[in-house]
């Protein structure tokens, strides 16, 4: 077990919009001067994508369109969330008191700092010579404890103690009975909110109970306080060690070393100072409004923040997308002073209630954006990803050509949607964004005619917004009587096989006038987090842990999380399911799962359930002693088992795929099996709230059955695990892996494109390229990416590691030390990237968050275009959507100079990424 030092939690979130239940952020009413316009009321808050910042600048943005009842007509409010940290100092208390029987004792551990504290502990018995850390006797284990293998116990501290201020403190009490002969208790404290372990300078805390441990122990002993001496009976002198945590090693204060006495003990007590970085969430809002005054259109801005202390707004305006600062004409808010003729500094005035501060700014309507940074208490600056906050000043209605207030009434009117109808609230927002795109393309009379590529990108964005609106509309419709499927488009024909790639068919359905059942392919902008590893079941509290870090995952930028299998299982990891309707698993119970899903939805993250449909473990044996009879809610007999697996003597039809020999393979050709599985998936969607599926071992059954299951359960997103071996020759990975990706594409096509698949081909080729510095492998014979993303990117879920390949299994581990090179590739390329839990909460977290932020900032999605610039021995480089240039490998590359100006955005070991300006 390693010790992790506490670090500031400066992570900013990037939430996917949730259009079903909008909870407005509590803001004070913002009343702007009345406009001379007869437009209907409509107020829309845009929470922009949260980004990950450097430790110096902790600012974040949210991304949830919602209606706000407190805002004026046609007011648009941009909310930027600011995460900052402060150091909290507290104490850990350890007390030893007599139990009910004077021969017994009670140990109390308490902490005064906020957090979700876990006591990770074990004991040493008197006769355990040379051994540490044993599980205590059952009578000593408090309720709610979870065993850790065979040597320790984890017990959550519960809020039951009262501090001097009257607050409840988390504590745990452990009964120490003399009959068990316990010689010492060993423990460390873990804060589940941060994942930090609090140890004694890389060693365990030890409450030592006998003399002989003192001399030969690897730990130093602190003698008991005045008034303590010997235990009754044959237990020796009480002694104890306790010192500061890892987080407090560098503090000047030290634990006291009490004097030693020889009187009989009445108890034992010690306090230790500890420190913890506490995350504080604040926000700044900028509300903008177009008003027609004195024959001119003006922008009125109201800036408000709940940051404590003195806050100064350092601000300017800009005229185009370059966001170059300039100083507008006066008048300015009171107290404003110029700064080097390039910016203005305005002190924010404290609010009457003493909570936060604000300022109001009026601008002539000639600027495209408002730029600013914040300065708190003269020494702390808040920025956005090292850059400035930016608020666009474009109007939801075309006002630039208006010369009188009468002209305003002829604009498009936005009706105020009912909060009870989330679809129409969202489509109004989509319509607004579409009008912005068109207005941006034509509003400036002096602007030169835009290129066809720019126009095409605008209309692609309109098409995407329309598809998102339709997906939301479809989710509110119970069923359709006439599902149809567009004819697939065939491309990439090989001599032996044909790749069916219906890339445009799904999108055309979304724009069709007649509602059709869409596939579970999301919007194309998803970023997936695998929310567990192979050992996540060990604690028995995984759902509770994820619930605590849900907001952090959102702050990093994830829009979808994949949860482990929820069902009762023969194996603790969940991949040997038994009773499908029993959702009490090693990860937690059904109520904890529901709470977890609800929490993810609150922070704007969709949730995928891990559905194991290929096989199921039986409850009973048949007359031959073979386990193939099922119980529980789905009490199938051996007709549900395929007949060609000799291990389980099934009476069904032959399998439509490969066998998984560890458990009975289910015969999906049986109508009763398909009916039951469809009902189960629909039940999970309704009862638990899953938004989609990760489908396990889909190589074991025909993709056409998957199509039936997806059409029945209508998931937002689905991905199948179609996993088989790449092509090798003389232990070398073949350059041409077309046959491998062909098999994955064939399975996707069997689902009629209703499900994506993990891009195992891309992972394998990255292995070969990075292990031997052979980056030429990252371009196929046609100059395209060589994985599934080169043929069918909108159905490819890219990844470099998962619970099977990484974690403690390590079946196909990514080249060590080169993980960030792999993430630099998949997070800049098309497809839907999936990030492994172990990498998120590791030293890679900041780099991964920066890459996610760049992907979202530049709108890279599953269908983005890739222009490969180099694929040589020591370097691979590509330009994506003419917005991002990237290179991986030790070789040299710089993006070409020309019409696009490139600036280096992210740099790491053997990878660099540029953004176009």
State the average pLDDT over residues 373-383.
86
What tokens were used for 801?
């590691």
| pLDDT over 60 at 257, yes or no | no
- Residue, of 116 and 558, whose pLDDT is higher: 558
Spell out the domain ranges in the chain.
85-160+169-214+267-281, 294-392
> Which pLDDT value is given to residue 908?
94
> Which pLDDT value is given to residue 319?
84
- Fold for the domain defined by 85-160+169-214+267-281: Immunoglobulin-like (2.60.40)
> Which pLDDT value is given to residue 527?
97
> Which pLDDT value is given to residue 211?
46
Highest mean pLDDT among 401-410, 425-434, 486-495: 425-434
What is the number of alpha carbons within 13 Å of residue 675 lying toward its C-beta?
A: 5
> Which pLDDT value is given to residue 166?
56
pLDDT over 90 percentage in the chain: 44
> Which pLDDT value is given to residue 387?
74
What tokens were used for 118?
């876990």
Q: What is the pLDDT of residues 274-304, one digit of tens each?
A: 787 777 888 899 988 887 766 677 888 999 9
- Fold for the domain defined by 294-392: Immunoglobulin-like (2.60.40)
State the average pLDDT over residues 854-882.
96
Measure CA 154 to chain center. 26
How does residue 495 score in pLDDT terms, banded at 50, 70 and 90? very low
- Residue, of 102 and 559, whose pLDDT is higher: 559
Q: Name residue 170's beta-bridge partners.
A: 159
Integer CA distances (angstroms), 527 to 314, 342, 720, 802, in order: 34, 38, 16, 15
> Which pLDDT value is given to residue 741?
96
Q: Which of 295-304, 403-412, 887-896 has the lowest mean pLDDT?
A: 403-412
Q: What is the pLDDT of residues 159-214, one digit of tens each?
A: 765 555 556 788 888 888 878 888 888 888 888 767 777 776 667 778 877 643 33
User: In this structure, are residues 758 and 859 in contact, taking their beta carbons and an 8 Å threshold?
Assistant: no
Residue 320: phi and psi, rounded to 5, are -155, -175
Q: What is the pLDDT of residues 598-639, one digit of tens each?
A: 999 999 999 999 999 999 999 999 999 999 999 999 999 999
How does residue 458 score in pLDDT terms, banded at 50, 70 and 90? low
How does residue 459 score in pLDDT terms, banded at 50, 70 and 90? low
State the average pLDDT over residues 327-339.
90
| pLDDT over 50 at 221, yes or no | no
Q: Which of 53-67, 107-121, 667-681, 842-856 has the lowest mean pLDDT?
A: 53-67
Q: Name residue 344's beta-bridge partners.
A: 315, 338
| pLDDT over 60 at 839, yes or no | yes
State the average pLDDT for the chain.
75
Q: What is the pLDDT of residues 36-85, one digit of tens each?
A: 333 233 333 333 333 333 333 333 333 332 323 233 346 788 888 887 77
Q: What is the pLDDT of residues 264-276, one digit of tens each?
A: 446 678 787 778 7
Distance from C-alpha of 472 to C-alpha of 476, rounded to nearest angstrom: 7
For the chain, the C-alpha Rg in angstroms (whole number) is: 31
How does residue 235 score in pLDDT terms, banded at 50, 70 and 90? very low
> Which pLDDT value is given to residue 466?
57
State the average pLDDT over residues 492-512.
36
Distance from C-alpha of 7 to C-alpha of 85, rounded to nearest angstrom: 10
Q: Which of 112-126, 527-541, 726-740, 833-847 has the lowest mean pLDDT?
A: 112-126
**What residues are annotated to the active site?**
696, 721
111 contact partners, CB below 8 Å, separation of at least 6: 90, 91, 92, 93, 117, 157, 169, 170, 171, 189, 274
> Which pLDDT value is given to residue 645?
86
User: Whats the size of the chain, residue-wise?
Assistant: 917
Highest mean pLDDT among 21-25, 181-185, 510-514: 181-185
| pLDDT over 50 at 816, yes or no | yes
Each as own residue / partner, the long-range contacts of residues 507-515 (CB below 8 Å, 24 or more positions apart, any chain) are 507/463, 507/467, 509/484, 509/485, 510/466, 510/467, 510/470, 510/471, 511/463, 511/466, 511/467, 511/470, 514/482, 514/484, 515/473, 515/474, 515/477, 515/480
| pLDDT over 60 at 11, yes or no | no
| pLDDT over 90 at 902, yes or no | yes
Question: Is the pTM higher than 0.85?
Answer: no
Q: What is the pLDDT of residues 172-185, one digit of tens each?
A: 888 888 788 888 88
Q: What is the pLDDT of residues 145-156, one digit of tens each?
A: 888 777 788 888
Distance from C-alpha of 38 to C-alpha of 411, rounded to nearest angstrom: 10
Q: What is the pLDDT of residues 554-587, one digit of tens each?
A: 999 999 999 999 999 999 999 999 999 999 999 9
């Amino acid at each position: 077990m390693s010790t992790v030092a506490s670090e500031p939690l400066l992570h900013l979130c990037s939430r996917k919009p949730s259009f079903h239940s909008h909870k407005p952020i509590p803001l004070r009413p913002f009343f702007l001067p009345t406009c001379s316009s007869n437009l209907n009321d409509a107020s829309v808050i845009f929470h922009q994508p949260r980004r990950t910042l450097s430790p110096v600048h902790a600012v974040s943005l949210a991304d949830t369109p919602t209606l706000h009842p407190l805002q004026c007509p046609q007011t648009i409010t941009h909310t930027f969330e600011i995460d900052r940290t402060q150091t909290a100092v507290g104490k850990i208390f350890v007390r030893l008191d007599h139990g009910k029987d004077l021969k017994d004792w009670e140990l109390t551990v308490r902490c005064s700092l906020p957090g979700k504290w876990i006591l990770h502990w074990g004991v040493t018995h008197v006769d355990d010579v040379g051994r540490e850390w044993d599980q205590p006797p059952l009578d000593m284990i408090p309720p709610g404890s979870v065993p850790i293998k065979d040597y320790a116990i984890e017990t959550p501290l519960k809020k039951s103690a009262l501090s001097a201020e009257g607050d409840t403190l988390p504590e745990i009490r452990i009964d120490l009975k003399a009959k068990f002969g316990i010689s010492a208790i060993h423990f460390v404290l873990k804060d589940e909110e941060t994942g930090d372990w609090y140890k004694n300078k890389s060693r365990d805390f030890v409450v030592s109970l006998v003399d002989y441990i003192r001399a030969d122990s690897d730990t130093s002993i602190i003698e008991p306080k005045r008034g303590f001496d010997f235990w009754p009976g044959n237990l020796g002198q009480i002694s104890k060690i306790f010192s500061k945590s890892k987080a407090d090693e560098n503090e000047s204060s030290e634990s006291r070393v009490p004097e030693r006495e020889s009187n009989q003990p009445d108890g034992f007590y010690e306090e230790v100072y500890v420190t913890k970085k506490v995350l504080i969430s604040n926000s700044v809002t900028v509300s903008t409004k177009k008003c027609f005054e004195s024959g001119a259109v003006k922008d009125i801005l109201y800036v408000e923040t709940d940051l404590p202390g003195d806050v100064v707004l350092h601000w300017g305006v800009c005229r185009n997308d370059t966001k170059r600062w300039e100083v507008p004409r006066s008048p300015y808010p009171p107290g404003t002073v110029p700064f080097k003729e390039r910016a203005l500094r305005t002190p924010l005035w404290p609010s009457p209630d003493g909570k936060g501060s604000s300022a109001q700014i009026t601008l002539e309507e000639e600027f495209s954006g408002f730029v600013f940074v914040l300065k708190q208490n003269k020494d702390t600056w808040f920025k956005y990803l090292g850059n400035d906050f930016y608020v666009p000043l474009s109007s939801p209605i075309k006002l630039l050509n208006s010369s009188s207030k009468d002209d305003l009434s002829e604009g498009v009117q936005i009706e105020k949607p009912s909060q009870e109808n989330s679809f129409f609230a969202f489509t109004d927002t989509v319509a607004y964004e579409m009008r912005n795109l068109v207005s941006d393309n034509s509003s400036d009379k002096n602007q030169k005619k835009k290129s066809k590529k720019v126009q095409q990108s605008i209309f692609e964005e309109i098409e995407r917004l329309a598809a998102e609106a339709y997906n939301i509309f479809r989710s509110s419709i119970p069923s359709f009587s006439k599902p149809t499927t567009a004819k697939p488009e065939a491309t990439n024909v090989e001599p032996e096989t044909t790749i069916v790639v219906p890339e445009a068919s799904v999108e055309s359905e979304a724009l069709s006038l007649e509602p059709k059942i869409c596939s579970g392919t999301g919007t194309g902008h998803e970023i997936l987090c695998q929310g567990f590893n192979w050992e996540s079941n060990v604690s028995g509290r995984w759902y509770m842990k994820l619930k605590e870090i849900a907001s952090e995952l959102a702050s990093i930028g994830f829009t979808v999380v994949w949860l482990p299998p929820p069902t009762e299982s023969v194996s603790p990891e969940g991949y040997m399911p038994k009773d499908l309707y029993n959702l009490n698993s090693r990860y937690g119970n059904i109520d904890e799962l529901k709470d977890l899903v609800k929490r993810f939805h609150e922070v704007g993250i969709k949730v995928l359930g891990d559905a194991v449909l290929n096989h199921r473990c039986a409850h009973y044996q048949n007359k031959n002693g073979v386990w193939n009879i099922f119980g529980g809610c789905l009490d199938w007999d051996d007709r549900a088992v395929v007949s060609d697996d000799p291990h389980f003597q099934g009476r069904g039809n032959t399998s439509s795929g490969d066998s998984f020999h560890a458990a009975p393979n289910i015969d999906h050709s049986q109508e009763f099996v398909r009916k039951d599985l469809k009902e189960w998936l629909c039940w999970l969607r309704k009862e638990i709230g899953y938004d989609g599926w990760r489908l396990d071992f889909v190589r074991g059954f025909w993709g056409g059955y998957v199509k039936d299951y997806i059409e029945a359960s209508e998931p937002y997103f689905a991905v199948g695990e179609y996993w088989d071996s790449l092509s090798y020759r003389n232990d070398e990975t073949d350059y041409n892996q077309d046959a491998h990706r062909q098999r994955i594409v064939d399975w996707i096509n069997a689902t009629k494109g209703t499900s994506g698949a993990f891009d195992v081909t891309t992972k394998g080729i990255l292995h070969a390229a990075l292990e031997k510095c052979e980056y030429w492998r990252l371009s196929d014979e046609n100059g395209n990416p060589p994985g599934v993303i080169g043929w069918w990117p909108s159905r490819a879920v890219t990844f470099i590691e998962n619970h099977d390949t990484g974690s403690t299994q390590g079946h196909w581990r990514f080249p060590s030390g080169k993980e960030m090179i792999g993430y630099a590739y998949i997070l800049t390329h098309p497809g839907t990237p999936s990030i492994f839990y172990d990498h998120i909460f590791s030293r890679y977290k900041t780099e991964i968050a920066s890459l996610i932020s760049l992907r979202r900032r530049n709108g890279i999605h599953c269908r983005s275009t890739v222009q490969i610039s180099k694929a040589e021995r020591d370097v691979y480089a590509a330009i994506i959507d003419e917005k991002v240039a990237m290179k991986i490998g030790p070789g040299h590359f710089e993006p070409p100079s020309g019409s696009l100006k490139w600036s280096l955005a992210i740099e790491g070991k053997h990878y660099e990424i540029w953004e176009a300006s």
